[in-house]
Structure 1
């Protein structure tokens, strides 16, 4: 007789589990040598899981600090992807700055960087450079196209990765009008793949297997999601094309407009098909075009026309309530303003609204709900906010630190002050992918 399984379902369906024990990554030390979005998002995930993350940035500051775009002076969200981190402002191109980095690497578990391929090695801070003194270090490089291959030295950004990976060729309207994904999926996705690789390598390192080098690329990360499209092409030999909101292998599985101008999506396959017909009050059982799931897929365009005619007779909320009651998968097409006030997301803490705590009106949480994950906790650091404490921890006395500040090797400030810049020279900033 099998042993009874333990019920791990949360006690309440309306509240997340209470945190207990220590955060998953408590005590794990991360060097964050990143800029833009992919690298910082990777280290933000690690931070939200409890790691101690030290952001390394030039004494002139990360490229995104304080930047404003357009006549409205809209801020680029530096704070959103550097929350809870510490900041050390240091010129890694200087000999003394590189020495500081090597010292920090010896005290760290993970290093994440997203310079151009080979840039860290040219500074003497590549994985092979650090490995002799840091045999257990997990080193993650994030770039546009990876550390080897004919595209190694090409610049990679989110737009290019979406196009190169094939994703853009299948994204857009059914008439062939291409579109970029609305979210920066290659940046965010690569950050996630980086975090997955880092955590797997950390397990091995903690088990005595030594450190590891993790190489993740924006183009790879998006191309790896092409499961449906690759299967379709291999099976048919026909290049997949954009389908709007429709599914590549099933129907009805797309968006429809309702009488109030709002839009919903449905996925009425298998048994949900009959339930959908019942809710809409249509009988298509005698139409051979819709007799089987495959036939409905083949004839998805005329089917969509029939369904659209019915959905246009009532409001979105009416249809969603009725369809859900009948067990038909469906949901609203929400706008960004709507997701920020959505009750489901609010209960799960996906968006935190506390400007005093985070320094921003709203932050987007890491979507891992657990009794051991602290998630977003505080605001991003000021430039060089932790320089003094970090250097003191490495054994630097006050006089030596002051000399480094005067010579422009490091920058230091308190949270609310500008960095100390006396005698600073211009320094190159990070060049993230």
Structure 2
């Protein structure tokens, strides 16, 4: 059945009432908790007193950090120094009131702070604890530094990405980070189901390298079948042809004409008769001779505009689509109708927000801006039973940071080393 109407949003958010403690930095961990937030969870971001390092990445003079705001929208902010015992006590207390904790430090870093899963488990038996790291919590690569590009290379992705002349390339998007965030969210949701059913908490271990290597389905099938190392193919498909991008007179279009019905329609649209050429008689032969076939088709595509060919191909039932730039994507009518990009600076404090691509009754998606550093520290501590005098003492000692009142001087960074620097000793978050 084809759905022709948009979900009405009548139900309550899927994760209403779920409390997530976000002890993350950079991209993979924050993306995981943003997905949970967009599904309705209440997310408290724990960050250094000096602020998450991503806050410093401003994309223009006088503007807030767009990268930070994109991946921390709808969250609250607790500024706390995890090097200080009092800071660790605060996070332990919050864990007892949380359903989920997500962290993405190097393996073992949270345990060295006394905040590992086994440290918290006695007091938090139902806690779902998710660790995202470069290579996971066990194995010979456990201690190795793992960032997005390293994971792309280690997982085999970089060996099959790039042009047919052997020039390697990374994926254009940080797929290791984003994919790990997605796998983390999937694991958390599954563990929450078990916890809510009375099965207790769980430890979810996600690795950047695993996340990308798990997508190598076609490449593994190719290698197992042939024994030959898969190589970069540009835009071509690993197992079918024609199935790639062709350059038109004013742009490129991706065309899928591998199966017989689409192949015949493609030839008719292009006005080429290849019915008598044995090289292209079957799907398999077209795949074997894909380079020769691509050259013939490219000569025809270059004679007219992209829109001309796409209109004709779509009318004939041949799958095709434009190769869009980011500027095209941000103004595309389909994405606009789906609400994937939200252009509302008054609401989000930034001109554009990238939404979570889950459209469903009960999924609220992006709702509000990212928090100001320490904007919720005082309220969080008060909720834990700290009185004003004790909160003030913690601020004075540099253990926590609070958002200053309007017109007040900003709280200076603590004299002691902030957690952003200490993270180098306990292994920096991804």
Task: Tell me the TM-score normalised to structure 1 length.
Answer: 0.94
**Which residue number corresponds to residue 228 of structure 1?**
218
Match of 2:253 among 242, 248, 264: 264
Give 1:76 shift: 5.8
Q: Aligned equivalents of 2:63 and 2:365: distance in 1?
A: 29
Match of 2:331 among 333, 341, 344: 341
**Which residue number corresponds to residue 3 of structure 1?**
none
**Which residue number corresponds to residue 374 of structure 1?**
364
Instruction: State how 1:208-287 maps to structure 2 within 5 Å.
Output: 208-260=198-250, 262-270=251-259, 271-287=261-277
Instruction: State how 1:30-429 maps to structure 2 within 5 Å.
Output: 30-68=20-58, 75=65, 77-260=67-250, 262-270=251-259, 271-413=261-403, 420-421=411-412, 425-429=416-420
Q: Contact 1:49–1:375 at 8 Å: present in 2 too?
A: yes
Q: Aligned equivalents of 1:419 and 1:187: distance in 2?
A: 33
Q: Aligned equivalents of 2:381 and 2:186: distance in 1?
A: 30
Give 1:37 shift: 0.3
Give 1:422 shift: 7.7
Q: Contact 1:405–1:422 at 8 Å: present in 2 too?
A: no
1:339-367 deviation line (CA, Å, top 9, x unaligned): 00000000000000011111111010000
Q: Contact 1:252–1:267 at 8 Å: present in 2 too?
A: yes
Give 1:259 shift: 1.7
Give 1:11 shift: 5.2
1:380-399 deviation line (CA, Å, top 9, x unaligned): 00110000110111111111
Classify the secondary structure of the residue corresponding to 1:304. Answer: helix
The structure in which a higher percent of residues are helix is 2
**Which residue number corresponds to residue 432 of structure 1?**
429
Q: Contact 2:46–2:79 at 8 Å: present in 1 too?
A: yes
Q: Contact 1:38–1:142 at 8 Å: present in 2 too?
A: yes
Q: Contact 2:49–2:413 at 8 Å: present in 1 too?
A: no
Classify the secondary structure of the residue corresponding to 1:78. Answer: helix
**Which residue number corresponds to residue 13 of structure 2?**
23
Give 1:18 shift: 1.6
Q: Aligned equivalents of 1:178 and 1:382: distance in 2?
A: 40
Instruction: State how 1:4-15 maps to structure 2 within 5 Å.
Output: 10=3, 12=5
Q: Contact 1:57–1:89 at 8 Å: present in 2 too?
A: yes
Q: Aligned equivalents of 1:70 and 1:357: distance in 2?
A: 19
Q: Aligned equivalents of 1:92 and 1:419: distance in 2?
A: 21
Give 1:420 shift: 2.6
1:223-266 deviation line (CA, Å, top 9, x unaligned): 00000000110111000000000001100000101122x00010
Q: Structure 2: where are the runs of 5+ without partners?
A: none
Q: 1:30–1:334: structure 2 CA closer, same or farther, 3 Å change rule?
A: same
Task: Tell me the TM-score normalised to structure 2 length.
Answer: 0.95
Aligned residue pairs total: 422
Deviates more, 1:232-241 or 1:60-69: 60-69
Q: Aligned equivalents of 1:384 and 1:160: distance in 2?
A: 33
Give 1:414 shift: 5.4
Stretches (4+) displaced over 2 A: 9-12, 66-76, 414-426
1:185-222 deviation line (CA, Å, top 9, x unaligned): 00000000000000000000000000000010110000
Q: Aligned equivalents of 1:35 and 1:391: distance in 2?
A: 22
